[in-house]
Amino acid sequence: MSKYRDVYSDIKRNILTNHYRAGTQLPTQEYFSEKYDISRITLKKALNLLENEGLIYSKQGSGTFVRNRIDTPSEEMLPLDLPVGVTHSHRDQKIKSKILHFDARLPNKKEQKELLLDQHSPVYEYKRVRIINNQVHSFEHSIMPVEVAPLNEDILMKSVYDYLGTEMNLQLTDARRIIYAAKADREISKALEVEEDEAIFVIEQVAYDQNGKAFELSKSAFKSEQTKFVLDVHISEH
């Protein structure tokens, strides 16, 4: 893939995850040129792609800004190709967590395989409901090796990924996802406040840090009628 497309994809990722917030000014061209070790010409190609997609715009004499997006809570489209959590995808909204289960135990065979653990390596298991603007958004069931970081209920009430990044210098950079439709079992129906056997949307994920090490195995369930996802596909040039 061409260098400018790599830069375009990275800046776009940061816009969609609200690292660069709507309505705010992007860093300077000098910053981007130094960060990505590219020329101004290459950077301009990347910025042109973002501008053509309506993600950014330029003000003469003022700089480049992230364009405001018109979203409604019921039709908000979340980026499916970005391995981020609820706090990152809903930065400007009121987010709460309801902890349903939190404990430490030894991993089962599937967890050992996915997280590359031996049978004696303890893991945290936690289940929680994520609530956005007082509306139930998702049910999360997560497994994380104890060696990754110490967890407690105070941390689980907030963003686990923010905690890992701030306190442990661990960043979620990649993920392998399995996405499918299912019927809500008794546990999920109670958590999501839907009828048992009602259709739901499920994402199973193995998350990897900046060193390529798996650090979390999770399963998230969403109400089918309240959640929409978008997946951008880019064809690399040869």
pLDDT of residue 25: 92
Any idea of the CA torsion for 226, 83, 17, 11, to the nearest 10 degrees? -140
Residues whose CB is less than 8 angstroms from the CB of residue 211 and which lie 6 or more positions away in sequence, other chains included: none
Cα torsion angle, 67, 68, 70, 75, sign? positive
Helix (H) or strand (E) holding 10: helix 3-16
pLDDT of residue 20: 86
Contact between residue 139 and residue 192 where contact means Cβ atoms under 8 Å apart: yes
Highest-pLDDT range among 26-30, 70-74, 172-176: 26-30
What's the rounded Cα separation, in Å, for the pair 168 and 112? 22
What are 226's two structure tokens?
């309240």
Q: Report the amino acid identity of residue 234.
A: H
Give me the residues paired with residue 229 across strands.
78
Within the chain, all domains assigned CATH 3.40.1410.10 are found at 78-227
The closest alpha carbon to 87, from 55, 128, 131, 27, belongs to 131
What's the rounded Cα separation, in Å, for the pair 5 and 47? 10
Contact between residue 121 and residue 145 where contact means Cβ atoms under 8 Å apart: yes
Tens of pLDDT, residue by residue over 116-131, are: 999 999 999 999 999 9
The closest alpha carbon to 28, from 9, 11, 16, 13, belongs to 11
The closest alpha carbon to 178, from 219, 145, 150, 208, belongs to 219
Residues whose CB is less than 8 angstroms from the CB of residue 187 and which lie 6 or more positions away in sequence, other chains included: none
| Beta-carbon count within 10 A of 6 CB | 15
Helix (H) or strand (E) holding 139: strand 135-145
Pick 78-227's CATH classification: 3.40.30.10, 3.40.1410.10, 1.10.3720.10, 3.40.50.620: 3.40.1410.10
The answer on pLDDT for 74 being more than 50 is no
pLDDT greater at residue 63 or residue 233: 63
Q: Quote the Cα angle for 78-84-86, to 5°.
A: 65
pLDDT greater at residue 26 or residue 80: 26
pLDDT greater at residue 93 or residue 11: 11
Q: May I ask the CATH architecture of the domain 3-66?
A: Orthogonal Bundle (1.10)
Q: Are strands 228-230 and 77-79 parallel, antiparallel or unpaired?
A: parallel
Q: Whole-model pTM above 0.75?
A: no
Within the chain, all domains assigned CATH 1.10.10.10 are found at 3-66
Q: What is the mean pLDDT of the chain?
A: 87
Tens of pLDDT, residue by residue over 200-214, are: 999 999 999 888 899
